Amino acid sequence: MLKPLRDSFLFSFFNETVGGRIVERNRQGLILTNQGTNVQSTDARWGKVLAVGPEVKDFKAGDIVLIEYGKWTVGFKYDNVQIWKSDEKKVIALGDDESVTFAY
């Protein structure tokens, strides 16, 4: 089991990432394309918290968080799950459930 240190946390993104680009899907699972713009590459992203360090106070494993754009590490695979790391100060919102990740 992975355990983050201090105020860091481990999470997985809700949207797939292929070749460094976000693959957006709607509630029905259809892939949404971004015609000619690069807006999605500078947006904050929703993730599901997998584990928290001992100094994290505002959320826990299983919570859904919105993380400032680019404020996460390069992802890595652990037990066949793609995982990223960030710290508590980079979280800008908490979600109630997975439906907050869909703004379409």
**Predicted confidence (pLDDT) per residue in 35-67, tens digit:** 444 444 577 888 999 999 999 999 999 999 999
What is the DSSP track for 31-88?
Answer: EEP--S--GGGGS-EEEEEEEE-TT--S--TT-EEEE-TT-S---EEETTEEEEEEEG
> Quick one: pLDDT at residue 67?
93
Q: What residue ranges do the domains of the chain occupy? A: 8-101
In this prediction the pTM is: 0.74
pLDDT band at 3 (very low <50, low <70, confident <90, very high): very high
What CATH number was assigned to the domain covering residues 8-101?
A: 2.30.33
**19-33 residues labelled b (16+ CB within 10 A) or e (exposed):** eeebebbeeeeeeee
Tens of pLDDT, residues 63-99: 999 999 889 998 899 998 889 999 999 999 998 776 6
- Three-state secondary-structure class, residue 98: helix
